[in-house]
Chain A
């Protein structure tokens, strides 16, 4: 049997229901790893059956029922296996439905699952993979494809992550009040990494993998809906929307990278910009300003400029000043130097860059010589700019970025 394709609406519904169904099954059976497998099977069953039979009247209940049936099968075979292995008593607790656990709302379940999947005990690559599968409802094959690794590699990564969750004994509930802020920062960071992976693509020859950015936005939206009062959750959603708005303008017909200053601004997605701006404005009025809100505010200033020469650089510089005080990230220092150069001239920017020469975290990274080349060009030092573009190209690890830097060097040689 070949599966008919689910239409976009059913697909969307299925992915939205995935964490709610998983939440319900975990409540009933407690075993996260097995419940997660059972829900994946239910999602696959839906993808096979719904196109032909139509979406059932109660899709959530349908999925819970199919997943529960799989759980029952799993529990039976577990019991049989344990009987074979040992005559000792069976841990009834772990294999029978836990009664009396009232399901909470679906959105709470999504949040609880995000906290579980983004557990600090996991490496970020494991947390990303598990989040996309358990909360995003993506199949292992889809996740493997998005990260350009073999399916077996991704399956291993997910099963190791599930094992860590199991052995860490995290209960299926929201973290305690004291823990919550710190744990939420990890969740937001994982979503930020998923978005970045989709937007800039550290591997391979394609600059964007939009399915990852869209998924990150969908999950950030779910967090924002569950925690509308958290300013940084709002800041992250706004940052994603305001950055994603420029996606189409960022690549040319031959797959080449087009920098912000040269993009066709009519291609920017106005709807994403206005939604991002609205989310950000509401967040900023709440007080506690964090790094995601600041980055979103910078993105908003770029998005609001009708032409590149209308960019409000003094305001952007002021925001980078704040961001620099808040984070020791050398990438922030780099961007701060660019903003300073746009306001006070390239010499100021170049001077700020010298502070980064000794920074171990940037050793061998192409961004430092690339930014220096740009500022040297603004300063009129053509030869040094060419040398720095070439040095940056030799270090670049993304093909579109390498090609962009080589082309910049060639352009300057011919100017």
Chain B
């Protein structure tokens, strides 16, 4: 089963991360590096991406003429997707456990951040009995 783990942060999150003490920034980066490495080594990682700073983020929809209509940049209060993992697991519980590990990534002073991670199942092909 595939799950996507989505890490959200407020639009100010990128700037406040950059304002942490140097050793805390390094500890956070090292945590993410070894978390991804372990996931990849265990064969459970489909993909993981970090997204660029949302200061230029836009919402696009097509107008009546099919041309893009853009909306943004957004107010401070808005939450943004900061990055995601797509993982292959046996069941939902395993996905929750991985999300909890990512959520506890070290923040300022090395304390776990316990940031919100949205966990959703990824729709796959037909169940095996129909193949």
- A residues sitting closer than 8 Å to B (CB atoms) are 204-205, 254-256, 390, 393-397, 399, 402-403, 406-407, 409-411, 413-414
Interface size class of B (residues with CB under 8 A): 20 to 34
CB within 8 Å of A: which of B17-31?
17-22, 25-26, 29-30
A–B Cβ pairs within 8 angstroms, 22 of them:
A205-B48, A205-B49, A205-B50, A254-B26, A254-B29, A254-B33, A254-B34, A256-B29, A394-B14, A394-B55, A397-B52, A407-B22, A407-B25, A407-B26, A409-B18, A410-B20, A410-B21, A410-B22, A410-B25, A413-B19, A413-B22, A414-B21
Cβ A406 vs Cβ B25 within 8 A: yes
Cβ B18 vs Cβ A399 within 8 A: no
- Distance, CA A406 to CA B28, complexed state (A): 12
Cβ A403 vs Cβ B55 within 8 A: no
Cβ B22 vs Cβ A411 within 8 A: yes
A-chain residues with CB within 8 Å of residue B53 when the two chains form the complex: 393-395
A-chain residues with CB within 8 Å of residue B55 when the two chains form the complex: 394
Cβ A410 vs Cβ B18 within 8 A: yes
**Taking A254-B33, A255-B33 as contacts, is the C-beta distance between A406 and B18 under 8 angstroms?**
yes
Partner of B29, one of A393, A397, A403, A414: A403
Query: How many A-B pairs with Cβ below 8 Å?
Result: 46
B-chain residues with CB within 8 Å of residue A406 when the two chains form the complex: 17-18, 25
A412 to chain B, nearest CB (A): 9
B45 to chain A, nearest CB (A): 11
B7 to chain A, nearest CB (A): 14
**Would you list the 3 A-B pairs with minimal beta carbon distance, nearest first?**
A410-B22, A254-B30, A394-B53
> For the complex, would chain B's binding face be called helix, strand, loop or mixed by DSSP majority?
helix
Residue B36 lies at the interface, judged by CB distance under 8 Å to chain A = yes
B-chain residues with CB within 8 Å of residue A390 when the two chains form the complex: 15, 18
- B residues sitting closer than 8 Å to A (CB atoms) are 14-15, 17-22, 25-26, 29-30, 33-34, 36, 48-50, 52-53, 55
A407 to chain B, nearest CB (A): 6
- Distance, CA A389 to CA B15, complexed state (A): 12
B27 to chain A, nearest CB (A): 9
- Distance, CA A346 to CA B20, complexed state (A): 28
- Distance, CA A396 to CA B55, complexed state (A): 13
- Distance, CA A376 to CA B2, complexed state (A): 48
B-chain residues with CB within 8 Å of residue A394 when the two chains form the complex: 14, 53, 55
B-chain residues with CB within 8 Å of residue A409 when the two chains form the complex: 18
Partner of B50, one of A255, A395, A399, A413: A399
- Distance, CA A257 to CA B20, complexed state (A): 19
- Distance, CA A410 to CA B24, complexed state (A): 10
A-chain residues with CB within 8 Å of residue B34 when the two chains form the complex: 254
A-chain residues with CB within 8 Å of residue B14 when the two chains form the complex: 394
B29 to chain A, nearest CB (A): 5
Who on chain B is nearest to A148 by CB?
Answer: B47
Residue from A205, A397, A399, A406 with most neighbouring chain B CB atoms (10 Å): A406
A-chain residues with CB within 8 Å of residue B19 when the two chains form the complex: 410, 413
B-chain residues with CB within 8 Å of residue A402 when the two chains form the complex: 50
- Distance, CA A396 to CA B50, complexed state (A): 12
- Distance, CA A111 to CA B49, complexed state (A): 38
B-chain residues with CB within 8 Å of residue A399 when the two chains form the complex: 50
A-chain residues with CB within 8 Å of residue B29 when the two chains form the complex: 254, 256, 403, 407
B8 to chain A, nearest CB (A): 18
- Distance, CA A171 to CA B49, complexed state (A): 43
- Distance, CA A406 to CA B48, complexed state (A): 21
A404 to chain B, nearest CB (A): 10
